Amino acid sequence: MRVLVMCTVHDPRDARISERQIAALLAAGHTVTQAGPFTAFGATSMPGVQAIDLPRAHGRHRVRAWRAARRLLRRTASEYDVILIHSPELIPAAVGLDHTAVVWDVHEDTASTLAMKSWLPQALRGPIAAVVRRAEASAERRAHVMLAERAYAERFALVHPVVPNTPMMPAQVVPSSPGRAIYVGSLTAARGVHDLIDVGRRLSEQGEIRLDVIGPAAPAIAADMRAAQAQGWLTWRGFIPNAEALRLMDGATVGLSLLHDEPNYRHSMPTKLLEYLARGIPFISTPLPLAVGLATASGGGIIVPFGDAAATAQAVRTLHDDDRGRQTLADQGHAWVVEHADWGRDGPAFVAQLEEWAATRPRP
């Protein structure tokens, strides 16, 4: 099977795109070409994958990327059995590709994310969200749809397969040890970066626990992170490819997820929580519904109030001081992920679904 993976918004090294889906396709013996904003993100393709550079779509600057993607599709679509699209705005660019299976991988609630877009005027967010919902309804008639969350099914009239964002299991789990809290993920206000900085400040006061932060940040947030690091409140490592970032988690005391109560987060499982548990690390999270459900079901996490750095820092200290209790949470959480959330099972199911759609596409 020949697959074109296309996205103009996300970093081509996005973990779901590259380290899960593309890796699963390569492991199954398929040929993959990836089209995305490699130059814009300073990224290179995975070994064995042909890269096609596209402009980046961001903020109000999206037309150039859309046109480049459409030109690419018109020129090369017939070379592929499946075109896997990760940017919903590219679905119209794929209209008319009658002999190639077009698949839209839905891994965020686009309409809900508009509430967090500072570049979009407040008065326009509601009307544009309505347009996005109508576009989604149209897209499911034009393309196969794959969902990263079961809750996303509510946005669509038809039934679509769910391929969750589950982690890959490490060959060996390093026991959780005291002294190091960790955060892995993008750094934004909505993701709780200023709460995270405050937690680092509070932990640094006693000096026993350091906060290790891995993830990219926009310039304004980057300035705040550099200032916090200069104060000795945390160590910020910037962007590190997901596979390497996961290895750096090993042995941490606890993993943090301090997402705010935003519409796009209320029905999405924070992938980092599953990744922490997969590496044998208990988590501390804000009380988003799926995070609360995971803490209850797995027994691997602690829930703290939104925006409460004091409670978060105290929870970190409690786990730091209780070796037996901390390891119990880590073991329970890891066992739950192995049973319920393993990309080792979901990856082959993802590939099988694409193979089915490719086999049933109209022939020229």
Mean pLDDT in residue range 175-180:
96
Phi, psi of 266 (to 5 degrees): -70, -25
> What pLDDT score was predicted for residue 205?
93
* Angstrom distance (rounded) from CA 212 to CA 62: 34
Count of other CB atoms within 10 angstroms of residue 25: 24
Phi, psi of 116 (to 5 degrees): -105, 5
> What pLDDT score was predicted for residue 111?
44
Q: Across the strands, what pairs with 254?
A: 181
- How does the average pLDDT of the chain come out, rounded? 90
Count of other CB atoms within 10 angstroms of residue 345: 12
Q: What is the CATH number of domain 180-340?
A: 3.40.50.2000
Residues of the chain with CATH 3.40.50.2000: 2-166+343-359, 180-340
343-349, long-range: CB within 8 Å, 24+ apart, which pairs? 343/20, 343/24, 343/166, 343/167, 343/168, 343/169, 344/168, 344/169, 345/166, 346/163, 346/164, 346/166, 347/20, 347/21, 347/23, 347/24, 347/27, 347/168, 348/24, 348/28, 349/163
When mean pLDDT is compared across 26-30, 44-48, 210-214, 279-283, the lowest value belongs to 44-48
Q: Best-predicted range by mean pLDDT among 90-99, 138-147, 191-200?
A: 191-200
**108 neighbors 263 (Cβ within 8 angstroms):** no
Q: Assign 192 a pLDDT band (cuts: 50, 70, 90).
A: very high
pLDDT at 92 over 90: no
CATH class of the domain comprising 2-166+343-359: alpha beta
Q: Provide, for the chain, the percentages of residues in helix, strand and coil under a 3-state DSSP scheme, each rounded to the nearest 5.
A: 50, 15, 35
Return the structure tokens found at 104: 């839209």
Mean pLDDT in residue range 93-101:
82
> Angle at the Cα of 111 (from 36 to 257), degrees rounded to 5?
75
> What pLDDT score was predicted for residue 180?
97
pLDDT at 114 over 50: no
pLDDT at 128 over 80: no
Mean pLDDT in residue range 129-152:
73
pLDDT digits (tens, 9 = 90+) for 238-258: 999 888 999 999 999 999 999
* Percent of all residues in the chain with a pLDDT value above 70, rounded to a whole number: 90
Return the structure tokens found at 160: 């679509």
When mean pLDDT is compared across 61-65, 90-94, 131-135, the lowest value belongs to 131-135
> What pLDDT score was predicted for residue 130?
52
pLDDT at 19 over 50: yes
**288 neighbors 266 (Cβ within 8 angstroms):** yes
Q: Strand runs (DSSP E) across the chain, as ranges? A: 2-6, 31-36, 50-53, 82-85, 101-106, 144-147, 180-184, 210-214, 235-236, 254-257, 283-285, 301-303
Global pTM value: 0.89
> What pLDDT score was predicted for residue 266?
86
Q: How far is CA 5 from the centre of its chain?
A: 16
> What pLDDT score was predicted for residue 195?
98
Return the structure tokens found at 198: 């405050």
Q: Assign 121 a pLDDT band (cuts: 50, 70, 90).
A: low
* Angstrom distance (rounded) from CA 262 to CA 113: 8
- Of all helices (H) and strands (E), which one includes residue 194? helix 193-204
The contacts of residue 311 (CB under 8 Å, 6+ apart) are 304, 305
Q: Which amino acid is at 280?
A: G
> What pLDDT score was predicted for residue 133?
56
pLDDT at 330 over 80: yes
Please return the burial class of 299, using the count of CB atoms within 10 Å of its CB with bins 0-12, 13-18 and 19+.
middle
Mean pLDDT in residue range 255-279:
93
* Angstrom distance (rounded) from CA 260 to CA 270: 12
Mean pLDDT in residue range 286-312:
98
